[in-house]
Structure formats: structure tokens, C-alpha cells
């Protein structure tokens, strides 16, 4: 149970960091127009949103 709590905690930290970086990431995507990177960022974001949602 403790391991799970720590995992959720680190997830929330990653989510906070990622949302902070998202603006930069979007600019980067616009410059680069690399579909794969765009897809990866979207997947990571939705995955973290699901993790946070299910942790409550």
C-alpha cells in the first residue's frame, strides 16, 4: 500500500512538472511539427490524467 501511495505521489509530481512544461512542449511541436512527438506528449498527458483520476 505504501508503495502505491509513493507511486501516486511521484505521479502527481510528474504531472505538475509536465503541465509546467506543456506550454514549452507545444511551442516545440509547432516549430518541429513532428507528429510522433506530438502523439507521445498527448499520450503521456492522457495517461497521467487517468492515473490521477483513478488515484482518488
Cell reading at 28: 516545440
> Cα(4)–Cα(30) distance, rounded to whole angstroms?
36
pLDDT, greater one: 29 or 41: 41
Q: Is residue 14 over pLDDT 80?
A: no
**38: DSSP letter:** H
- Count how many Cα atoms sit within 13 Å of the Cα of residue 40 in the half-sphere of its side chain: 7
Q: H-type helices in 33-56, by residue range? A: 35-55
Q: What is the pTM of this model?
A: 0.28
Cell reading at 14: 510528474
> Cα(51)–Cα(8) distance, rounded to whole angstroms?
8
Amino acid at each position: 500500500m505504501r508503495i502505491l501511495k509513493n507511486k501516486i505521489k511521484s505521479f502527481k509530481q510528474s504531472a505538475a512538472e509536465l503541465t509546467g512544461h506543456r506550454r514549452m512542449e507545444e511551442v516545440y511541436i509547432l516549430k518541429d511539427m513532428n507528429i510522433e512527438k506530438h502523439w507521445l506528449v498527448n499520450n503521456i498527458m492522457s495517461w497521467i490524467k487517468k492515473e490521477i483520476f483513478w488515484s482518488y
